[in-house]
């Protein structure tokens, strides 16, 4: 049930965009970072309202990042996205068009889905050198050198090492981190650094601006809806911005929500790197970074054990059982680690 004061605030915002009362709101479940409501009027879904997670310790302005990126796309006639309609930055809420679609099934990813994802990525980057494209910020956790990618995971590992292990589930997480995650990361890190050396690459040499790309960042089929005609629409751009396309590709295949079979990897790499300098080197960079990003995603699913993860969960659903959620996240982390070990 949406609180009355929040309902009044939202209604006022919608009326500034030309909508008229009355409105009804239904909360969508399953979100990880923000509260999302479908807005109804006369039994019709007229749009989606997002209330963005925000706290003083988190310097990222999620609403501003997503709003700017979606506006850039929409103004360049890339419409496989929700249309940004109206926002209130002070209250951290925004209203977008409603997309009537369904989530993809994890085991039913097709070549057509892959082609649509590639076309979307390449289409948005055809405008990257425009004034509006150049003005967009770097993506969250953007990496522009191989060393950046490795240090990104080092920082996430260090945060997990602060878990005290006071509760039963926290103790289980601590054992998993010490006995499985840390040893495997040490091996992956060592192997990646050796490959960098074998390829005669310079770890801290930043990639040229020409090779950087605009990235949706949290890009994958977990953030997509398919309409009745099979057309994909892409969602959630709060981390978007300039980044290394190797990171975009690795995240695309390593995110655990809707796994993408590795058989699609060569085609996606080829179509995204073909207009980059030294595409063969770009392919090798992606190969060596894939296990690095598997470890990153292992860290991501363990965020639930950190204070930030807990406060975000309370924002999303204060009635959820924290131990049940932690148990599931620990299971997901274990699956990722097993896959890394099998492919080392």
Three-class secondary structure of residue 269 per DSSP: helix
Residue 221 has a pLDDT of 97
- List, for residues 240-265, the tens digit of each pLDDT value: 999 999 999 999 999 999 999 999 99
Residue 65, CA atoms < 13 Å, CB-side half-sphere: 24
- Cα torsion angle, 293, 274, 276, 134, sign: negative
Q: By C-alpha distance, which of 220, 226, 277, 222 is closest to 249?
A: 220
Which position has the token pair 């992606």? 286
Supply the pLDDT for residue 53: 83
Give tens-digit pLDDT for 134-173. Answer: 999 999 999 999 999 999 999 999 999 999 878 899 999 9
Q: pLDDT, tens digit, for every residue of 285-310? A: 999 999 999 999 999 999 999 986 55
102 phi and psi angles, rounded to 5 deg: -125, 155
- Report the pLDDT value the prediction gives residue 54, as an integer from 0 to 100: 78
Rounded to an integer, what distance in angstroms lies between the CA atom of residue 295 and that of residue 333?
A: 9
Task: From 122, 137, 125, select the one nearest 241 (Cα to Cα).
Answer: 137
* pLDDT at residue 311 is higher than 60: no
Question: Which residues make beta-bridge pairs with 224?
Answer: 234
- C-alpha dihedral sign at 108, 109, 110, 112: positive
Which ranges in the chain are annotated with CATH 3.30.200? Answer: 4-96
Give the residue carrying structure tokens 């131990």. Answer: 323
| 222 SS3 class | helix
**Mean pLDDT, rounded, of the chain:** 92
What gap in Å lies between CA 282 and CA 273, rounded to an integer? 7
Highest average pLDDT, of 13-27, 44-58, 230-244, comes from 230-244
For residue range 212-240, what is the model confidence (pLDDT) as tens digits? 999 999 999 999 999 999 999 999 999 99
CA distances from 340 to 166, 188, 260, 264, 320 (A): 28, 9, 15, 18, 31
Torsional sign, CA 29, 35, 41, 47: negative
Is CATH 3.30.1380 the right assignment for the domain spanning 4-96?
A: no
* Distance in angstroms (rounded) separating the CA atoms of residues 213 and 146: 16
**pLDDT value for 15:** 92
Residue of 43 and 66 predicted with greater confidence: 66
**198-213, pLDDT tens digit by residue?**
999 999 999 999 999 9
Residues 95-119 have a mean pLDDT of 96
CATH class of 111-343: alpha beta
CA 286 to chain CA centroid, Å, is 18
Using only C-alpha atoms, the chain has a radius of gyration, in whole angstroms, of 21
Q: Are strands 24-28 and 44-51 parallel, antiparallel or unpaired?
A: unpaired
Domain with CATH 3.90.1200 in the chain: 111-343
């Amino acid at each position: 049930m949406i609180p009355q004061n929040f309902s009044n605030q939202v209604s006022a915002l919608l009326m500034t965009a030309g909508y008229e009362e009355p409105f009804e709101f239904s909360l969508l479940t399953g979100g990880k970072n923000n509260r999302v409501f479908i807005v109804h009027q006369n039994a019709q879904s007229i749009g989606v309202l997002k209330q963005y997670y925000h706290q003083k310790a988190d310097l990222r302005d999620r609403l501003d990042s997503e709003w700017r990126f979606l506006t850039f796309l929409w103004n360049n006639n890339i419409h496989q996205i929700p249309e940004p309609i109206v926002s209130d930055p002070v209250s951290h809420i925004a209203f977008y068009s409603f997309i009537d679609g369904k989530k993809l099934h994890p085991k039913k990813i097709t070549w057509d889905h892959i082609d649509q994802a590639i076309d979307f990525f390449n289409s948005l980057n055809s405008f990257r050198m425009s004034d509006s494209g150049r003005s967009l910020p770097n993506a969250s956790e953007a990496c522009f050198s191989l060393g950046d990618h490795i240090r990104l995971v080092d920082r996430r590992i260090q945060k997990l090492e602060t878990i005290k292990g006071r509760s039963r589930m926290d103790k289980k997480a601590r054992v998993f981190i010490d006995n499985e995650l840390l040893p495997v990361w040490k091996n992956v890190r060592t192997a990646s650094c050796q490959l960098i050396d074998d390829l005669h690459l310079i770890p801290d040499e930043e990639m040229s601006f020409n090779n950087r790309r605009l990235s949706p960042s949290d890009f994958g089929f977990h953030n997509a809806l398919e309409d009745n005609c099979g057309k994909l629409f892409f969602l959630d751009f709060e981390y978007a911005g300039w980044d290394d396309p190797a990171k975009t590709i690795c995240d695309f295949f390593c995110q655990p929500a809707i796994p993408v079979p590795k058989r699609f990897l060569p085609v996606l790499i080829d179509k995204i790197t073909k207009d980059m300098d030294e595409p063969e080197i770009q392919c090798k960079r992606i190969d060596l970074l894939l296990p690095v990003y598997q470890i990153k995603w292992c860290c991501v699913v363990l965020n639930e054990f950190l204070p930030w993860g807990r406060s975000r969960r309370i924002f999303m659903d204060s009635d959820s059982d924290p131990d049940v959620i932690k148990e599931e996240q620990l299971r997901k982390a274990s699956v990722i680690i097993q896959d890394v070990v099998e492919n080392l």
